[in-house]
Structures are given as C-alpha cells and as structure tokens.
Amino acid sequence: MYKKGFKRFFDILFSFIILTVSFPFLLIIAIAIKLDSKGPVIFKQKRLGKGGKEFYIYKFRTMVVNAEAGGVYSDNKDPRVTRVGGILRKTSLDELPQMVNVLKGDMSFIGPRPPLTYHPWPLEQYTDEQRRMFDVRPGITGWAQINGRKAVEWNRRIELNVWYIDNLSFVLDCKIVVNTILKVLKNSDNENIGASVTEKPQEENVTAEQNEVINK
C-alpha cells in the first residue's frame, strides 16, 4: 500500500509544504547567488530517473559557470566553488530546488540518488541486477547516502540502492530521513573521495570528453 500510493502522496504533500514555507528563504538564497557570482541561480543537469528515463535535476548553483569542463568531482578547496556555494554545500541547501523535481514526479524524497547519464557508466552498461535501482523514482536522499554517502565506491552504492528497493517500507524511509538530518547537521561523508569507480565503462562506448571527466 505504501509503495503503490502513500509514498507518492507524502512526496507531493511535503514538497508543496516545504516550497511554500521556504519561499522567502529561497528568494534570499537566489539573491545571494546572483550577488556572489555571474550566472544563473539554478543549475540544471541531466540525470537518470525511474526506468532509466533522463530528466533535469535542479540545484542552486554552487560553482562558477561551465565548471563541469574541469571535471565532475570537487572538494571544499575547489576554486570553482563560489563563496555562497560553499555555504550551500556544507548545509546541503543547494538541494532545495529538488522539491520541484519531487512535485513534478521526477524524484521522491527517499530513493537512490540519480546518477549522471554517463557516470559511473552509461545506462546500457549497468548489469541487469544494477539496473534494478531504476525500478523506483530516484531520491533526494537514500539508503546509500546514510551508509557512506560520497565516501562509498559506486559499485557498493548501487548494491545499497538495490537493497533499499528490496526492503522499501514506511519505517525504512523514516529511518533514512532521521539519519539524513543527523548527517547533514554533522556534515559527514560530504566530500568526494575521487573517481569512486572500480570498473570503468568500455572505452569504445564513451566519448573522449566524457572519459576525461570521469578520470578527473
């Protein structure tokens, strides 16, 4: 019952409430971003969603424009991160625009984090077992995020995502919410550790530009 209807009901209800209540705060963040650096307030990026369908994920922009040309990974010393962006990242406030993704139905509050379309590898290179992570809507947070977050290598992250799908329940989602709040408050596991992929995609199926990004 929870998986078939109530989960989506809670997503719509709480994303609408959060967007409504936080609207003045969102405006303040938007103004701060514009005053801090040139470029759009919202950063859009293609990700893989339910069924492997591509969608645009929304975040507050935390880096300079065209920062992705310098690679996917960044840390707290990355010069591409703006002053306001650094604060947003530490507090995870850059994720707030994803409430719109939840309201639209692209995402859920809880679920596997949606990967890039080409990283850790293209959709067709996931195994049948790994592809099961796309059986549900991706989430703002998830089981992998409270079990290592960015410190976990991608193959392990996918295993955690599949475990979540097999054990999805209201109680588990509540546990994930509580642990996510604790991790955000402690700012734990919020730094990329590197490429975090033990197996690379087959070279012939990856463009030179994408392979350069993956290896940075």
DSSP string across 123-188: GGGS-TTGGGGGGS--EEE-TTGGGTGGGS-HHHHHHHHHHHHHH--HHHHHHHHHHHHHHHHHTT
Q: For 164-216, what is each residue's pLDDT tens digit?
A: 999 999 999 999 999 999 988 887 666 555 556 655 444 334 443 343 333 33
SS3 call for 44: strand
Distance, CA of 110 to chain centre: 11
How open is the CA angle 95-97-100, to the nearest 5 degrees? 130
SS3 call for 211: helix
161: pLDDT strictly greater than 50: yes
Tracing tokens 């003045």 back to the chain, one arrives at 24
> What is the C-alpha separation between 33 and 55, in angstroms, rounded?
24
The strand pair at 54-60 and 42-48 is best described as antiparallel
Res. 69 pLDDT band, cuts 50 70 90 = low
Mean pLDDT of all residues in 113-129? 96
Mean pLDDT of all residues in 66-93? 81
Distance, CA of 20 to chain centre: 22
Instruction: Give the number of other Cβ atoms within 10 Å of residue 119's Cβ.
Output: 17
Q: Specify the range with the lowest mean pLDDT, choosing from 80-94, 99-113, 192-206.
A: 192-206
Joined together, the tokens standing for residue 101 give 């993704």
pTM score of the predicted model: 0.83
